[in-house]
Amino acid sequence: MSNSNPHDAPFPVEDALCTQRLDTPNSYCADPRPSSASSPTNIDGEPLSYVPGEPRVKLASTDVQAFLARELHTPLLDNLYRRLWLVGRRDGGNIDSLHRQKNKGRHIVPTEDPKLHLVWHHDKIYIKPIPLCLLNHTFWTDYLCRSSTKQKTPQSKLSSLAEEERGGVAQQSDYIVATGFLRSYAYLVSHYSDFQIARETHLLPDDIDWIKWSMFIAHFGTMEDHQVARRYHYGQLRLSRLNWAVRIFQPQGKSTSWFYEIPYWNTYSYLQQAIAPLAFAFASISIVLSSMQVILSVPADGLGFGQLDEDFSLQAIRRAFWVFSVIVLLLSGAVWTLMLVIPLSVLVWQLLWGFRHRGSVTMSSL
């Protein structure tokens, strides 16, 4: 069960997977217990003066806030939040476990960009490895819980409301962003086979085992949407649809006006993707034009329907070519109709389903 008190870490100190002691100033500590009591299992070595796993990030409040914003926050998706129902299903549990991703033929691609976490494209899905600091109990009590306390003040709530009224997106606390991120891992790594895949793809630290991981992540698997950031009200998202959302709505924070994330980095890949549909369209149009030409070139009185004359074989050939050309035209029309109607019908059905289940923004999720 997850901790219901937002001022405490969502897991007890004995379940922490990173037990390194941190040299944090008392003024940053949101837990009344001393820092050494928060990490009794770590008795070797000096306390760290930097974020666990990040030697270049010192344990100063501004440095840690900048690090968390860079590593966890997704402002572009937050700006698209009200329209994400057009992109995917509003269900935080809509996340396939790692072994299921493999069953669907997707490659696991580690990424350090938080906006790509749980975004999939064709045969690959991007997943951000867990920062080591999120496995440390002291880091949670001294930094993440502190951000949650600041977010709950009346002044911060009024600022959030004012920002929402202006049509913008209020800054979410590091606490709920971190809990949402770890909740996604409760779905991604829920079986031992998932754990092995995560280790092979370097999504998890090498020095943890399955039993400890299961005990740690269980505290996040029971969290509900109001306990996590907006982005994690949705699960995995399709990159092609996110690209269209960026093109249509032009949200703030976009890097380009055409792509959520540029899928290819050379012109050849774009040409390769365009060759097949262009070739199919060219061939279809050529066949249709040829069939129309055959139909128009055969005079109606030369078909010989309902009459016989001395040149029966020539009439039969004309008739066969004319009937074949008509069949080709009908088949071409049917193929193009199916290619347009079926995808459009599926798209309309998905949009209607998303509209009915889009939900509403509640202040508890800010």
Q: Tell me: the pLDDT tens digits for 37-80? A: 334 444 456 899 999 999 999 999 999 999 999 999 999 999 99
Q: Is residue 61 part of a domain?
A: yes
Rounded to whole angstroms, the Cα distance separating 146 from 149 reads 5
> Are the beta carbons of 45 and 173 closer than 8 angstroms?
no
**3-class DSSP assignment, residue 34:** coil
Q: Are residues 258 and 271 in the same domain?
A: no
- Would you say how long the chain is, in residues? 366
Q: Sort 37 into a burial class: Cβ within 10 Å, 0-12 / 13-18 / 19+.
A: exposed
Read off the tokens for 102. Answer: 């493999």
Residues with Cβ within 8 Å of 117's Cβ and at least 6 positions away in sequence, in order, are 74, 111, 126, 127, 128, 181, 184
- Secondary structure (H, E, C), 94-107: CCCCHHHHHHCCCE
**Is 342's pLDDT higher than 80?**
yes
Residue 362 lies in a domain: no
User: pTM for the complete prediction?
Assistant: 0.75
Indicate the residue among 232, 263, 294 that finishes a domain: 263
Q: How far is CA 104 from the centre of its chain?
A: 16
Of the candidates 261, 242, 228, the one whose C-alpha atom is nearest the C-alpha of residue 93 is 228
Q: How far apart are CA 331 and CA 186, in angstroms?
A: 50
Model confidence over 277-336: pLDDT tens digits? 888 888 888 888 888 887 777 776 655 555 555 555 767 777 787 888 888 888 888 888
Residue 5 within any structural domain of the chain: no
Rounded to an integer, what distance in angstroms lies between the CA atom of residue 115 and that of residue 260? Answer: 9
Flag whether 146 is in a domain: yes
99 and 212 part of one domain: yes
- My answer on whether 184 and 322 are in the same domain is no
Helix (H, G, I), strand (E, B) or coil at 214: helix
Tokens at 259, concatenated: 């792509």
Q: Tell me, yes or no, whether 44 and 99 share the same domain.
A: yes
The range of the structural domain enclosing residue 272 comes to: 267-356
- Is position 100 within any domain? yes
365, part of any domain:
no
Average pLDDT, the chain: 81
Alpha-carbon gap, residue 303 to 356, rounded angstroms? 57
- The torsion region of residue 6 among left (phi > 0), alpha (psi -120 to 50) and beta comes to alpha
Residue 32 has pLDDT above 50, yes or no: no
User: What's the total number of domains in the chain?
Assistant: 2
Backbone angles phi, psi at 74, to 5 degrees: -130, 70
- Sign of the torsion formed by the C-alpha atoms of 210, 18, 140 and 170: negative
Query: Could you say which of 263, 292, 317 is where a domain stops?
Result: 263
Instruction: Clarify whether residues 235 and 200 are in a common domain.
Output: yes
CA 366 to chain CA mean position, Å: 20
| d(C-alpha 166, C-alpha 151), whole Å | 19
Residues 176 and 291 in one domain: no
Residue type, 353: W
Non-local (6+) Cβ contacts of 67 within 8 A are 51, 54, 57
Three-class secondary structure of residue 238 per DSSP: strand
Q: How far is CA 95 from the centre of its chain?
A: 9
325 and 204 together in one domain: no
Candidates 117, 118, 140, 127; CA nearest to 17 is 140
Distance CA 302, CA 297 (A): 10
* Residue 120: inside a domain: yes
Q: Return phi, psi of residue 150, to 5°.
A: -65, -35
User: Do 96 and 219 fall within a single domain?
Assistant: yes
Among 263, 280, 315, identify where a domain stops. 263
158 and 283 inside one domain: no
Q: Are residues 234 and 278 in the same domain?
A: no
Look at 9-23, 194-208, 237-251, 268-282 and tell me which has the smallest mean pLDDT: 268-282
Do 142 and 259 fall within a single domain?
yes
For residue 122, tell me if it sits in a domain. Answer: yes
| Count of C-beta atoms within a 10 Å radius of residue 350 | 16
Q: Is the same domain home to 331 and 216?
A: no
Is a pLDDT exceeding 60 seen at residue 163? no
Average pLDDT over residues 259-285: 81
